[in-house]
A and B are shown apart, each in its own frame.
Chain A
Amino acid sequence: EEQLLESGGGLVHPGGSLKLSCAASGFPISNFAMTWVRQAPGKRLEWVSTISAASISTYSVDSVKGRFTISRDNSKAEVYLQMDRLSAEDTAIYYCAKDQYSGNKPYFFDSWGQGTLVLVSS
């Protein structure tokens, strides 16, 4: 059974940093692009960042470029999201998601973690 388990969320002050982790199991993570999607309270889901299967390419939504960095360690079956210079607008549940198809860009996601809450507040 495919499983994704996020960790690392919490309360952080504006301007602070957090690093999220996503531990994958039940599938060969090295074959798949991995993505972070967030859901702010009362708002639609928002794609945040994707890393290709072999870490050659990364993609991010404009609002986090220069502040968030996605990375992965296939040997550990983990994906990470380093979030710097956080603001209240980054408050959301952050989900780790796996694409249904092997590849390097996000398409649609057949496995999701339970999410980890990031709360940016003073």
Chain B
Amino acid sequence: DIVLTQSPDSLAVSLGERATINCRSSQSVFRSSNNKSYLAWYQQKAGQPPKLLMYWASTRASGVPDRFSGSGSGTDFTLTVSGLQAEDVAVYFCQQYDTTPSITFGQGTRLEIK
């Protein structure tokens, strides 16, 4: 199975500043056949289910503010939250679907306000 390792495990960022969360895959999730990376990002607030933020590594899901952006390819990916707002406090997970149906998730990164 592909193992996704996120870093850091937690971070605290000041309101209005930028938060950067990394996700490294144990093997490439990029397919040259369609030039896509099979990676998604989710946000999970306390007591709530995960919410889809990004897919294909950098495509924003419907309704997601444009302060959220995704980048990367192959094995290294980044979720960036620009202009952090209080409502962004959550745990963020990456997920790969290259090896569907055996999809896997990262361990999560907790984002807090400094």
Interfacial residues, chain A to chain B (CB-CB below 8 A): 44-47, 50, 59, 61, 95, 100, 105-110, 112-115
B100 lies within 8 A of A112 (CB): no
A46 lies within 8 A of B61 (CB): no
Interfacial residues, chain B to chain A (CB-CB below 8 A): 38, 40, 48-52, 55, 61-62, 93, 95, 97, 100-108
A47 lies within 8 A of B62 (CB): no
Number of A-B contacts (CB under 8 A): 53
User: In the complex, what residues of A have CB within 8 A of residue B108's CB?
Assistant: 44-45
User: In the complex, what residues of A have CB within 8 A of residue B40's CB?
Assistant: 108
User: In the complex, what residues of A have CB within 8 A of residue B55's CB?
Assistant: 100, 107-108
Q: How far is the CB of A65 from chain B (nearest CB, A)?
A: 12
User: In the complex, what residues of B have CB within 8 A of residue A109's CB?
Assistant: 50, 52
Q: A113 with B97: in contact, given A44-B107, A47-B102, A108-B55 (CB under 8 Å)?
A: no
Partner of B97, one of A46, A106, A110: A106
